[in-house]
Amino acid sequence: MKYFIGRLRSRPFIDFCLFAIAGAIILAVFSIVPQSRFGANLWNLSNYVFPSIYGSIAGGLLGIWSGRLRRSLHAQTSMQERYHDLFENASDLIQSVALDGSVLFVNRAWRDTLGYCDSEVSSLNIFDVISPDDHHQCRQRFESLISGGVVNSAEVTFLRKDGCPVLVEGNVSLRFENDQPHSLRAIYRDISERKAAEVKIHQLAYYDKLTGLPNRTLLQDRLVHAIADAKRFDHHLGVMFIDLDHFKKVNDTLGHHIGDLLLQEAAQRLRDSFRENDTAARLGGDEFVVILSGYRNSVNVPHIAQKILENLARPYTIEGHELVLSGSVGIAIYPQDGTNADDLLRNADMAMYAAKGGRGDSFKFYSESMNRNAVKQLQLENGLRHAIQEDQFFICYQPQVDWESKRIVGVEALLRWNHPEYGLVSPDKFIPVAEETGLIIPIGEWVLRRACKELKQLQVELDIELDLSVNLSGIQLEHPNIVEVILNALHESGLPSEQLELEITESVLVERTDQALKLLHEISSLGVRIAIDDFGTGYSSLSYLKNFPIDRLKIDKSFLVDILHDTDNAAIVETIIAMSRNMGLNVIAEGVEIHDQVEFLTDRSCPLMQGFLFSKPVLPSQLKVLIEQGDKLFE
Ligand code: C2E
Ligand code: MG
Ligand code: MG
């Protein structure tokens, strides 16, 4: 009964009744008015019966239909309002962007987060709010979506109107209209706080709170990676265990606060003693570990250890206290002193105890032979300081030949050191030490001036033209006066700049400092040519080459070894030759020792060669004889 009464009071029933009554009245009136003209009796109720019945049926039906229509319109409007409400009040940033990037609409969270008001949004292009660093990636995403790709979760940095970055993460999708791509819709979450929290957690988990250096956990991780890299690239790796001598005394006498400040300062000095890709970590207390990675040989390690000790030993002024500190350093080298992280750390630790057991303020290698080498190394370093003044250097020249014309077309100047005690020392041993100590600057200048002078003299004596290649260290390219040094060497000797070539290693390209790039362009503008030495060993890529004013690549001698049978080497050499040709570069192969290599190179159109097959590096007097003999070199 209740249900029945409810139905009677419902809106559709009322609609039905109202429309039925209205229909009955309207049809009755409409039917009786025409009849009344012909004399029909308006008071005769039977005249109204049928029109009222038809009218009420039609009205009722119309009532039902209009009720439905009204209800559906109402439902639609309220759905739209709900969606708009959801869209506007969503906490995520929602945006719709036309294919050219102009912003179509955004929600309130978007406007509030990025600081724009309603009227400003319509004139924005989405790239006005995306950080310039992300433009390229975003354009790629746009293009990928338009060409049918899928973009899953995307991270973008937006810039607020006041310039502050806001990191967001979300999904982007493409909208179609009439089967044509129309616009891009995206829903983003602001993840700046989450990212900041992640960084903080990472900092707490992996870094030492006091010094900001990596902690034991991160050290272990970095060491494992460094060992894997050393294995892969056949590099050396050094692990240094550093303990501060008598640090406990500072804590006991001046208190922990001063001790902490001293540790912070010592950590900073350690940081300053290494290259950026070396890792210095604090294990706890006054113990630090340093990983020296990516070295081609371990000759520099004693020098680095010495530098650490000197840096640590400089006096400290902490809150008015003048303090002096020293350290003990133990060194283990991969692979000879251990091939895994635990062994290397343990052995470096043992070596550190041996250093401390002496008088402190010293370093020790884990292996005895390395200790002996280290002493020699430091002696070399001291010896190098006097080598120029004591006239211990001289230059040998190795011919570079053109196999096609069977002529010597140039020579490479190679430095030699006649050590009073050790005799002839190889440049592979002393050049890294000279670089590490900065002595390469005066030594390099000496080589340039002497080589230009000797070659010009030879040219005049023999009345020939001959190119000169001189090796230039990356360190020299960090010194702005290198251009002046080159100009002076050319001027003094009278050698034309087009006859001088400077060989730089790939590491200069990889490290690619602005200074080096600028200087290379200046050098090149003098007419001096630039060659990349030992090409193929230094992980440089084509993209690096394009930025440098390079004239020639020198294929490293290691790739010529067993070239007829080693398919990898053959493929590398072939690729370098083809690549040089494509880039319009000259190419020369070094380390040619046998005729098979000559054949391989000439078959691939690389007629320029240098190597023992033609001649070892020789003194200027011997070079003169070689040139005079001419063809003998090619027999
Ligand atoms: P580099 O510039 O790649 O010089 C080529 C090295 O390969 C020279 O060694 C040369 O004697 C050697 N070599 C040439 N032909 C052959 C061959 O057929 N077979 C073999 N096995 N070796 C060959 P060197 O003279 O011992 O020089 C070693 C490195 O020392 C040079 O490599 C260069 O990087 C550096 N160096 C030499 N002189 C200087 C210099 O004045 N300044 C600088 N910065 N570095 C120099
Ligand atoms: Mg060279
Ligand atoms: Mg070379």
DSSP code string of 587-631: EEEE---SHHHHHHHHHTT--EEESTTT---B-HHHHHHHHHHGG
SS3 (DSSP) at 564: coil
Domain C-terminal end among 27, 59, 88: 88
Does the structure show a pLDDT above 80 at 38? no
Q: In this structure, are 557 and 488 located in the same domain?
A: yes
Q: Which domain holds residue 67?
A: 2-88
Q: In this structure, are 568 and 532 located in the same domain?
A: yes
Q: Which helix (H) or strand (E) holds 467?
A: strand 467-471
Q: In this structure, are 361 and 398 located in the same domain?
A: no
Ligand 1 is surrounded, with C-beta below 6 A, by: 398, 414-415, 426-428, 431, 444, 447, 471, 473, 503, 533-534, 557, 590-593, 610-612, 617
Does the structure show a pLDDT above 80 at 430? yes
| Residue 471 alpha carbon to ligand 2 centre in Å | 5
Q: Which of 439, 590, 614 has most ligand 1 atoms within 8 Å of its beta carbon, as the pocket-test mutant?
A: 590
| Residue 548 alpha carbon to ligand 3 centre in Å | 19
Atom 13 in ligand 1: residue holding the nearest Cα? 591
Does the structure show a pLDDT above 70 at 4? no
- Average pLDDT, whole number, for the chain? 89
Mean pLDDT of 293-304: 76
Q: Are 114 and 129 in contact (CB under 8 A)?
A: yes
pLDDT confidence tier of residue 6, bands split at 50, 70 and 90:
low
The answer for residues whose C-beta is within 8 angstroms of residue 537's C-beta and 6 or more apart is 506, 556, 558
Q: Which pLDDT does position 402 carry in this prediction? A: 96
Residue 420 covered by a domain? yes
**DSSP, res 446:** H
Q: In this structure, are 43 and 73 located in the same domain?
A: yes
Q: Which pLDDT does position 552 carry in this prediction? A: 96
Chain segment 359-400, per-residue pLDDT in tens: 788 999 998 777 777 777 778 888 999 999 999 999 999 999
Question: What is the residue type of 303?
Answer: H
Q: Which pLDDT does position 598 carry in this prediction? A: 96
Question: Where does 368-436 show beta strands of DSSP type E?
Answer: 393-402, 407-419, 423-425
Who has greater pLDDT, 215 or 45?
215
Q: Which pLDDT does position 573 carry in this prediction? A: 95
Number of domains in the chain: 4
Q: Are strands 407-419 and 467-471 parallel, antiparallel or unpaired?
A: parallel
Q: Which pLDDT does position 480 carry in this prediction? A: 84
Q: Which of 398, 452, 471 has most ligand 1 atoms within 8 Å of its beta carbon, as the pocket-test mutant?
A: 471
Q: Which helix (H) or strand (E) holds 237?
A: strand 236-245
Q: In this structure, are 509 and 613 located in the same domain?
A: yes
CA 351/CA 356 separation, integer angstroms = 9
Mean pLDDT of 325-348: 93
Atom 30 in ligand 1: residue holding the nearest Cα? 427
Look at residues 364, 334, 335 and name the one whose alpha carbon lies nearest to residue 350: 364
Q: In this structure, are 133 and 242 located in the same domain?
A: no
Distance of CA 32 to the CA centre of its chain: 94
Mean pLDDT of 165-180: 90
Q: Are strands 586-590 and 103-106 parallel, antiparallel or unpaired?
A: unpaired
Q: In this structure, are 395 and 474 located in the same domain?
A: yes
Does the structure show a pLDDT above 80 at 575? yes
Task: Tell me the H-state helices in 93-187.
Answer: 108-114, 118-121, 126-129, 135-146
Q: In this structure, are 188 and 229 located in the same domain?
A: no
Question: What is the residue type of 493?
Answer: S
Q: In this structure, are 61 and 161 located in the same domain?
A: no
Mean pLDDT of 180-206: 90
Q: Which pLDDT does position 489 carry in this prediction? A: 98
The order of strands in the sheet holding 287-295 is 279-284, 287-295, 236-245, 326-334, 362-365
Ion ligand 3 — residues with CB under 5 Å? 533-534
Ion ligand 2 — residues with CB under 5 Å? 471, 503, 533
| Residue 536 alpha carbon to ligand 3 centre in Å | 10
Ligand 1: atom nearest CA of 617 is: 11
Q: In this structure, are 359 and 386 located in the same domain?
A: no
pTM, two decimals, is: 0.58
Ligand 1: atom nearest CA of 472 is: 44
| Residue 511 alpha carbon to ligand 3 centre in Å | 19
Highest mean pLDDT among 5-19, 62-76, 289-303, 412-426: 412-426
Residue 200 covered by a domain? no
pLDDT confidence tier of residue 118, bands split at 50, 70 and 90:
confident
Domain C-terminal end among 88, 108, 131: 88
Does the structure show a pLDDT above 90 at 243? yes
Q: Which pLDDT does position 299 carry in this prediction? A: 65
Does the structure show a pLDDT above 80 at 44? no
3-state DSSP: the chain helix, strand, coil percent, rounded to 5?
55, 25, 25
Domain C-terminal end among 366, 389, 420: 366
pLDDT confidence tier of residue 97, bands split at 50, 70 and 90:
very high
| Residue 256 alpha carbon to ligand 2 centre in Å | 54
Q: In this structure, are 183 and 226 located in the same domain?
A: no
CATH of the domain at 292: 3.30.70.270
SS3 (DSSP) at 321: strand
Atom 17 in ligand 1: residue holding the nearest Cα? 591
Does the structure show a pLDDT above 80 at 562? yes
For residue 125 the two structure tokens come to 């292009």
Chain segment 265-288, per-residue pLDDT in tens: 999 999 988 887 789 999 999 999
Distance of CA 136 to the CA centre of its chain: 16
Q: Which residue has the tokens 């292996």?
A: 367
Q: Would you tell me how many other CB atoms lie within 10 Å of the CB of residue 24? A: 21
